[in-house]
Amino acid sequence: MCAKELKKTSRFTEVQAELERTGAALFVDKEGSENLYIRSPYTIQYIHSYAEDSPFFLGLAEGRIRGTRCTACQYTFATPRGHCQFCGEPTQWVDLPTKGKVHAWTTCHYGSEAFLKETPYNLVLVEFEGAKSLLLSRLKDCGEEDIYVGMPIEARFAQEPSYSITDLWFVPAPGSLKK
């Protein structure tokens, strides 16, 4: 194969398409220079440990939301952490309620490549009674027009755990949808 057989284009989108098709293309810039593009894939499988956060993800599989509480200053974290961010002392595990409120929200109509097929989806920062910090989650079974700051919501858990934060999501509490 010689370079002459490569597709030449001055459109960047055509370069991308050609790389998908043949793996190489020539981009011709304004000065007439030919710039050689190639496809360069990269995949990797990490061997990932949740380490000290493991009980949280095991808890989701049992239908529990587990936060942590500082053994010294008693600050309660809805997103667990092994040591307190204020005094550095160790925390202990506590069960959080499965009902909460929307502290902040958005609806994503685009997303990272990994999540594009799931759009639109709602993200919420959840407040819990008895916890001072928040937890990020998805809010399902409702539309953009339903959601507001302060809206009461309830947890749902995956039947088959994938041991990911996505094993947990929230839905509107009964009666809280827009009428």
Q: Which positions touch another protein (CB under 8 A)?
A: 12, 15-16, 27, 29, 31, 33, 35, 37, 40, 42, 50, 53, 77-79, 81, 85-86, 103-116, 118, 121, 123, 125, 132-138, 144, 148-150, 164-166, 178
86 binds Zn ion (CB under 5 A): yes
Residue 16 contact partner, candidates another protein, Zn ion, none, CB within 5 to 8 A by sort of partner: another protein
Q: How many CB atoms lie within 10 A of CB 34?
A: 11
Asked if 73 touches Zn ion (CB under 5 A), the answer is yes
Size, binding site for Zn ion by CB under 5 A: 6
Query: Are 146 and 39 within 8 A, CB to CB?
Result: no
Q: Whose Cβ is closer to Zn ion: residue 73's or residue 149's?
A: 73
42's contact among Zn ion, another protein, none, with CB below 5 to 8 A by partner kind, is another protein
Please tell me whether residue 131 binds Zn ion under the rule CB under 5 A: no
Q: Which residues contact 144 (CB under 8 A, 6 or more apart)?
A: 107, 120, 122
Minimum distance from residue 7 beta carbon to another protein (Å): 14
Q: Which is nearer to another protein, 42 or 47 (CB)?
A: 42
Q: Which residues contact 65 (CB under 8 A, 6 or more apart)?
A: 59, 78, 95, 96, 97, 98, 128, 135, 155, 168
Q: Which of 70, 126, 135, 151 binds Zn ion (CB under 5 A)?
A: 70
Per residue in 53-77, is it b (16+ CB within 10 Å) or e — as a string?
A: eeebbebbeeebbbbbbbeeeebbb
